[in-house]
Amino acid sequence: MLKFARETKQIERIVTLSPLTLMATNFHERNGAIQIGLNAETQNFEYSIADTRWEKYMKDAKKWFSLHVG
């Protein structure tokens, strides 16, 4: 999604609607998102379209899964 947004230049923001779980928080923060909203049931994170850290994490995750699952 971020790669597509960067290439098309038509998308200004990527914002998530995520559950209030530690797993969701850790996932988004490790992938470079910033928490921008918090309420009783959900939290929102925003990703920078210019940030490319997530691409490295995706490659690392694919390597890990191929070693441990495949």
CA distances from 53 to 5, 6, 7, 31, 32 (A): 15, 13, 16, 7, 7
- Of the pLDDT bands very low, low, confident and very high (cuts 50, 70, 90), residue 9 is confident
Lookup: tokens for 70? 């495949």
Q: What is the pLDDT of residues 31-48, one digit of tens each?
A: 889 999 999 999 999 988
Q: What is the structure's pLDDT at 68?
A: 63
Q: How far apart are CA 27 and CA 38, in angstroms?
A: 16
**Residue pLDDT, tens place only, 48-70:** 877 666 677 777 777 777 766 55
Record the pTM: 0.66
C-alpha torsion 41→46→52→55, nearest 10? 20
3-state class (DSSP) for residue 52: coil
Range of the domain at 54: 2-68
Tell me how many domains the chain contains: 1
